[in-house]
Amino acid sequence: MTEINFNDFAVSQDILSALDLLEYKQPTAVQQKVIPVVLDKKDAIVKSKTGSGKTAAFGIPLCELAEWEENKPQALILTPTRELADQIKEDITAIGRFKRIKAIAIYGKQPFAHQKTELKQKNHIVAGTPGRVLDHIQKGTIAIDKIDYLIIDEADEMLSMGFIDQVEAIIKELPSQRTTMLFSATLPEEITKLSDLYMNNPEKIEIDSSH
């Protein structure tokens, strides 16, 4: 197989330098498949196991596509736990450091008022748990009109934790002209149903666990 490097993708030097600092030398299998699809702004359903590098698979193209000048969030990443939201925020901050991408994490059991203030300031990418994100949408404390990208991370975990209805409620509020990517380790029927309803002819990407 031909060797693929990060500089084979249409990503800028700011991002490549950040990946250097992170010591990401080569894209993982899921990154090789997903990065060009997100850069093309196409919908996709990605089945790939834990630890395969899914955060950077969406984080790299989202940092590349984000317009620094825009003050309102351009990407929303839904994830089942607070820990994952914080991790995604940190990873995206690291990938987007030279582009000065501002990522924030929004989740329950944290003061709402503080998040409200944070959401008012310039930010490009929001990672959050469904309940609290929906709360902010319903109270009008998060600007959603510039959201071009929705990432549903760990979709099967969202399902088993009972968050799918909240995910669906959020999707219904977002601008319909957007790119939607769904990531999951398994693809139960409820997940494929959700994608049939809310995704636009998604590309199916399955990474063989032996890679």
> Where along the sequence are the contacts to ligand ADP (CB under 6 A)?
24, 26-28, 31, 50-56
Q: Which among ligand ADP, Mg ion, none contacts residue 27 (Cβ within 5 to 8 A by kind)? A: ligand ADP
State in angstroms the smallest separation of the CB of 151 from ligand ADP. Answer: 11
- Nearest approach, Cβ of 88 to Mg ion (angstroms)? 8
Closer to ligand ADP by CB, 9 or 24: give it. Answer: 24
Kindly tell me which of 54 and 178 has the beta carbon lying closer to Mg ion: 54
Residues 6+ apart with CB under 8 A from 71: 122, 123
Q: How many other C-beta atoms are found inside a 10 Å radius of the C-beta of residue 77? A: 27
How many CB atoms are located within 10 Å of the residue 108 CB?
Answer: 13
Binding residues for Mg ion, rule: CB under 5 A, are: 54
**Which is closer to Mg ion, CB of 87 or CB of 141?**
87
Partner whose binding site includes residue 28, from Mg ion, ligand ADP, none (CB under 5 to 8 Å by kind)? ligand ADP
Residue 63 CB, nearest approach to Mg ion (Å): 16
Nearer to Mg ion, 77 or 199 (CB): 77
Nearer to ligand ADP, 180 or 184 (CB): 184
111 binds, among ligand ADP, Mg ion, none (CB under 5 to 8 A by kind): none
Residue 52's binding partner among Mg ion, ligand ADP, none (Cβ under 5 to 8 angstroms by kind) is ligand ADP
